[in-house]
Amino acid sequence: MLNYYVDPGQGFIFSQNLSFLWGILLGMGAGLAAFFRFFVRFPRRKLFWAVVIVLLLILGGISMRHNKNIRHKKVVVIGVDALDPELLEEFIAAKMLPNLARLAAEGAYSRLETTVPSESVVAWTSFSTGLRPGGHGIFDFVMRKEGSRGHGLYLSLNEVQNKSGRPGVSRRNKGRFFWEVLSDNRIYSEVYFCPNTFPPGNLHGRIISGMGVPDITGTTGRSFFYASERPKAETGDDRCRVVNVDTASGKAATWIYGPLLSSAGNVRPENSRIPMTIEMDTANQTAVLRFQGRTITLRKGEWSSWQKVSFSLGGFRKARGIMRFYLKSVSPYLGLYATPVNFDPGAPLFPISYPADFARELAVANGMFYTQGMPADTWALSEERLDENEFLSIIDEILAERGNMLENRLKRFRGGMFFFYLDTLDSVQHMFWRYRDGRAFPSGALAARKDVILEYYRKIDELLGMVLRYSDENTVVMVLSDHGFTSFRKAVDLNRWLSDNGYLYFKKGIKDGGEFFSGIDWSRTRAYAMGFGGIYLNKTGREYYGIVPQEDCRALEKEISRKLRDLKDPASGEAVVSNVYEGNEVFSGACRSSSPDLYAGFAAGYRGSWQTALGGVSGEVIRENDKKWSGDHIVDPAIVPGVLLVNKKVRLEAPSIIDIAPTVLRLFGVEIPAEMPGKVLFEEE
């Protein structure tokens, strides 16, 4: 047992549990009152004193029972996605992050080993389950359906089902969350926005799901841009959907789009829709929006508040959502941005919290908030629907919502395990790393944004300062990140490389394969790539069209691994791949059969291409990345470790992200499940 923990079932912390003392005093007062009633001359109103005695006894008992249920020791864990150790150490040395500096100086600090691969969905699932990817079965954002005839791909965040004509959703993660183990032992937990927790399960406490919660249309987030002329950057396959409107009369009729409506036979389903009109006043640079009885007036450069919308799905069924609008321009053309339609926390289409009404409770207490699991609309910036300032205004709104919620919940938290996730740094670094390493494409002055990443590190530092103010000597505070960050200068098409080296072949007359392996000749293909670094052999008995016998697999893996390690960038002579991880070594566990056979750990500056991720093939192996998405972490995991800070003087010996779960369990005196391979990070000193 640790010297600064008390087993919740063994005792109490008197400095915090004043209600316990009040229970004793009230009970004693009741006993004394009864004693003096018999031996001292009291007023004759016997009934009055009898009632007083009974009430004192009841209040004392309620207080003690209430205390016993919730007044546990406190472990507060703050997950800061992509908090990078090199930047953290640089900014601390420059005295820019006083709260993180104090946490490191007075407590403990270490770099934290991440997962293979170093992807958020993989690493946070390992954090929450205490399992390596081979144990929980999440190996990438994009995974393949085993034995699928068309080598079907799917997102690993959740699975949508249709049972008896009713849609449902389940998690693909095969592991148990460590707070579920705490719940088995009646230890209270609160969990906020942890990735890959949708749909939420039952627990002794409260949870609201994070990454994995879709928007109301079922995507990870598709926004809308209403425009009177086609934006220059439109490609026809934009994540921020362009909706053309005719504004010649100064008034435009259009739609707000919702979930797909079910259809019969081969009829392509259509989105449910809500009519909306937009009236423009070019003289005053304003626009008036009207929909479902609402009227909103926006000035140029102004955001609306959250607006409720309701879509009819037929059969008296409704899908309720919330969204915000931003008026970018009125003339010479209309530019109106609309966020993805988030689930209404008061009436979500699927449960997003436990208890089911907890999301509504949060909205009532803190105001409406982004329920979408990945709320930062990076695509709107990439596709130039929003500029950098407008994108950062979204980031600021999300951070303000989360910060307000974090403080309000910490004020109420009385004991147990508390986890809160922040994704701010991940989104900002993805989009602004080009300023960090001296690039500002497609154009722009470097000086204008050179300190934007530092600015948000400082905002996170301020938020953590608030967390520390709500902590005392009996509270363990952990701050951790899932991975670090680095430059993304060039994209690498692994399927093109496999084709050039005789491992992957196209159908006759096809030079480049389309997405989802549509042009691949499986009768000759021995290996293919998908996701952001995974390579799979076309094995007999596993793949639908498999041709590689089991006895040949090991030699083929070794051959591909050796050649990948030798891959050089012809423009610079640099090594493109830092390491190649063999699946049988790094993906052991119950879910090994679903893992990649090899994983390419790219060198800093290189990353798997968007085409590879979706089973596509482009025209060249290496190409310049000229997108605003200019920083990344999906490289060799050894290059991008996370961080761990603890507010106690403890020994941290080469910690890994899989060590957090068993450590928290031990802090509460809970037996660690045998399947958790991690170690407890610190013992009693």
Instruction: Give the pLDDT of residue 38.
Output: 43
In the chain, what percentage of residues exceed pLDDT 70?
A: 85
What contacts 72, CB < 8 A, 6 or more positions away?
8, 187, 188, 414, 415, 416, 668
Question: Residue 464: pLDDT above 70?
Answer: yes
- Mean pLDDT in residue range 148-158: 77
Instruction: Give the pLDDT of residue 163.
Output: 52
- Mean pLDDT in residue range 325-333: 96
Instruction: Give the pLDDT of residue 35.
Output: 43
pLDDT, the chain, mean: 88
As given in the structure block, the two tokens for residue 227 are 């425009």
- Mean pLDDT in residue range 8-15: 25
Task: Look at residues 625, 621, 619, 624 and name the one whose alpha carbon lies nearest to residue 519.
Answer: 619
Split at pLDDT 50, 70, 90, the class of 513 is confident
As given in the structure block, the two tokens for residue 66 are 């209430």
Q: Are 628 and 431 in contact (CB under 8 A)?
A: yes
Q: Are 621 and 492 in contact (CB under 8 A)?
A: yes
Question: Residue 138: pLDDT above 60?
Answer: yes
Question: Residue 374: pLDDT above 90?
Answer: yes
- Mean pLDDT in residue range 175-200: 97
Instruction: Give the pLDDT of residue 238.
Output: 75
The secondary element (H helix, E strand) that includes residue 392 is helix 388-412
Instruction: Give the pLDDT of residue 233.
Output: 60
Q: What is the pLDDT of residues 212-256, one digit of tens each?
A: 999 999 999 999 999 998 776 666 567 899 999 999 999 999 999
- Mean pLDDT in residue range 569-590: 95
Question: Residue 36: pLDDT above 70?
Answer: no
Instruction: Give the pLDDT of residue 25.
Output: 34
255 vs 131: CA distance, rounded Å:
45
590 vs 61: CA distance, rounded Å:
48
Domain range summary for the chain, segments of one domain joined by + = 18-70, 220-349, 489-634
Question: Residue 29: pLDDT above 60?
Answer: no
Is the Cα dihedral 260, 266, 268, 273 positive or negative?
Answer: negative
Instruction: Give the pLDDT of residue 441.
Output: 60
- Mean pLDDT in residue range 440-451: 67
Split at pLDDT 50, 70, 90, the class of 63 is very low
**Main-chain dihedrals φ then ψ at residue 272, nearest 5 degrees:** -65, 155
Look up tokens 């950098």; give the residue: 388
Task: Look at residues 559, 547, 535 and name the one whose alpha carbon lies nearest to residue 608.
Answer: 535
Instruction: Give the pLDDT of residue 42.
Output: 43
239 vs 379: CA distance, rounded Å:
6
- Mean pLDDT in residue range 164-175: 78
- Mean pLDDT in residue range 111-129: 98
Instruction: Give the pLDDT of residue 677.
Output: 96
Question: Residue 31: pLDDT above 90?
Answer: no
State the pTM of this model.
Answer: 0.88
Question: Residue 126: pLDDT above 70?
Answer: yes
- Mean pLDDT in residue range 652-663: 95
410 vs 74, 228, 390, 406, 676, CA distance in Å? 11, 46, 30, 6, 29
As given in the structure block, the two tokens for residue 567 are 């891959």
Question: Residue 411: pLDDT above 90?
Answer: yes
Q: Report the SS3 class of residue 89.
A: helix
CA gyration radius for the chain? 28
Question: Residue 661: pLDDT above 90?
Answer: yes
Per mean pLDDT, which range of 13-17, 439-443, 514-518 is the poorest?
A: 13-17
Per mean pLDDT, which range of 55-69, 154-168, 431-445, 596-610 is the poorest?
A: 55-69
- Mean pLDDT in residue range 181-196: 98
Strand order of the β-sheet with 527-530 is 527-530, 534-537, 598-602, 577-582
